[in-house]
Chains A and B, each alone.
Chain A
Amino acid sequence: MSKKFLSLEKVEKRFPISANEDYVAVTDVNLEIRENEIIAIIGHSGCGKSTLLNMISGLDAQTSGAIVLENKHIDGPGPDRAVVFQNHSLLPWLSVYQNIEMAVKKVMPELSASELRERVERYVSMVNLDHAKDKLPDEISGGMKQRVGIARALSITPKVLLMDEPFGALDSLTRANLQEHLMRIQQKVKNTVVIITHDIDEAVLLSDRVIMMTNGPDATIGEILEVNLQRPRNRVELQSDPEYIRCREAILSFLYEKFAKDDE
Chain B
Amino acid sequence: MNKELVKKIFLPLIVFILILQVWVGIASFVKDFPTPATTYVAAFGGINVDGDEISGVLSDPFYVNNQDDKGLFWQIIESLKRVFAGFVLAIIVGVPVGLLVGMSKNAQYALNPFIQIFKPVSPLAWLPLLLFIFQDINMTAISTIFITSIWPIIINTALGVKSVNEDYMNVAKVLRFTPLEKIIQIILPVSVPYIFTGMRLSLGIAWLVIVAAEMLTGGIGIGFWIWDEYNNLNYDNIIIGIIIVGLIGFILDVLMGRIADYFDYTKKGRA
Contacts and interface: CB of A to CB of B under 8 A. Distances in A.
A107 B175 contact: yes
Contact of B167 (A58, A85, A93, A95): A85
A176 interface: no
Given A106-B176, A136-B269, A93 B170 contact: no
Interface in A51-104: 57-59, 76-79, 81-83, 85, 87, 89, 91-93, 95, 102-103
A109 to B, nearest CB: 11
A139 B269 contact: yes
Identify the interface centre among B168, B170, B174, B266: most chain A CB within 10 Å of its CB: B174
Nearest to B264: A93
A89 to B, nearest CB: 4
B186 A91 contact: yes
Interface size class of A (residues with CB under 8 A): 20 to 34
Interface string B239-271: 000000000000000000000000001100111
Given A91-B186, A95-B270, A81 B174 contact: yes
Contacts of A92: 265-266
A136 B174 contact: no
A22 interface: no
A83 B189 contact: no
Nearest to A153: B174
B174 A78 contact: yes
B174 A91 contact: no
A134 interface: yes
Prevailing SS type, chain B contact patch: helix
Interface in B56-111: none
Nearest to A103: B175
Nearest to A82: B174
Contacts of A91: 168, 171, 185-186, 189
A156 B171 CA distance: 13
Contacts of A78: 174, 176
B177 interface: yes
Nearest to B185: A102
Size band of the B side of the interface?
A: 10 to 19
Interface in B210-243: none
Contact of A89 (B167, B177, B266, B269): B167
A91 to B, nearest CB: 6
A81 B174 CA distance: 8
A59 B173 contact: yes
Interface in B160-175: 165, 167-168, 170-171, 173-175
Contacts of B266: 92
A106 B167 CA distance: 18
B53 interface: no
B185 A77 contact: no
B136 interface: no
Interface string A9-22: 00000000000000
A16 to B, nearest CB: 18
B32 interface: no
A51 to B, nearest CB: 14
B175 A59 contact: no
Contact of A77 (B176, B269, B270): B176
Given A89-B168, A91-B171, A91-B189, A106 B270 contact: no
Contacts of A102: 175, 185
Given A93-B189, A136-B270, A106 B171 contact: no
A210 B257 CA distance: 55
A87 B171 CA distance: 12
A134 B271 CA distance: 7
Contact of A79 (B174, B185, B270, B271): B174
Nearest to A86: B167
A82 B176 CA distance: 11
B189 A89 contact: no
Nearest to B167: A89
Given A77-B176, A107-B175, 11 more contacts: A59-B170, A79-B176, A85-B167, A85-B171, A89-B165, A89-B170, A89-B171, A91-B168, A93-B265, A106-B176, A156-B175
Interface of A: 57-59, 76-79, 81-83, 85, 87, 89, 91-93, 95, 102-103, 106-107, 134, 136, 139, 156
7 contacts: A89-B165, A91-B185, A91-B189, A93-B189, A106-B175, A106-B176, A106-B177
State the 6 A-B residue pairs at the shortest beta-carbon distance, nearest first: A93-B265, A89-B167, A77-B173, A77-B174, A93-B189, A106-B175
